[in-house]
Amino acid sequence: MTPGPRRPRADAARNRQRLLDAAVEVFGESGIDVPMSEVARRAGVGIATLARNFPAREDLIAATFSASMTAYADTAAAAAADPEPWRAFCGFIEYVCRIPRRDRGFGQVLTTMFPGVEALESERQRGLREFIRLVRRAKEAGGLRPDFSPHDLPLIMLATGGVTRAGAPALAVAADRLIGYLLQACAAGNTGPLPGLPPPRELYRALEISRPG
């Protein structure tokens, strides 16, 4: 019978953890496009060790952010279960829009589809399912305008992410104001017609990473 994967050496496991810790810091501060060597440097290991543990950048991204994505989906679930759906909706939107300010890398991950990374995509989908529930309840409760679509969420993420991206503190303040505008636009009082959304498949397709041009 095959011996199965043996336990890694203690120092190897330690280095792997150091790399993950460093990735959380570096991706959080500078985004997921930062040079891999910077992650290795911050972790205090050689570049080869990083490459051995995470051959592709996506591997490191997946390992670094799968916990964050789970927390995101959990937050959506909590909001969907909130007894005050409209307040929960506003709170969730604020939470989502402030993510790129705290963690630039995760902000990018949230608005990027990684079709090959199951650990991220399954949790992202769970988050979306919970958000759909939240939207339904917020409409029923009367706070949210009826023509709001759950697929407006990536739009809102992209919009506020575009403001936050530059990473200056002044823009963080400005992003809050944008959230204010958007939430007021989402309120049930607004009844003007809205341009339609593209089919969700196309929308999410457009967000996939590294289009093989």
Partner DNA sequence: CTCGATCTGGAAGGGGTCTTCCGGTTCACC
Partner DNA sequence: GGTGAACCGGAAGACCCCTTCCAGATCGAG
Q: Which residues bind DNA (CB under 7 A)?
A: 6-12, 15, 35-37, 44-49, 51-53, 55-57
With contacts defined by CB under 8 A, name the span among 17-25, 48-56, 75-83, 203-211 that binds a second copy: 203-211
User: Nearer Cβ to a second copy, position 127 or 161?
Assistant: 161
Q: Under the criterion CB under 8 A, does residue 10 sit at the interface with a second copy? A: no
Integer Cα distance of 98 and 176 in angstroms: 8
Q: Under the criterion CB under 8 A, does residue 17 sit at the interface with a second copy? A: no
Instruction: Give yes or no for a contact between 64 and 124, defined as CB atoms under 8 angstroms apart.
Output: no
Q: Under the criterion CB under 8 A, does residue 171 sit at the interface with a second copy? A: yes
Candidates 179, 188, 210, 212; binder of a second copy (CB under 8 A) is: 179
The one-letter amino acid at 108: Q
Q: Under the criterion CB under 8 A, does residue 90 sit at the interface with a second copy? A: no
Integer Cα distance of 153 and 160 in angstroms: 11
Structure tokens at 82: 């909130």
The one-letter amino acid at 71: A
By CB under 8 A, the count of residues binding a second copy is 44
Integer Cα distance of 152 and 54 in angstroms: 34
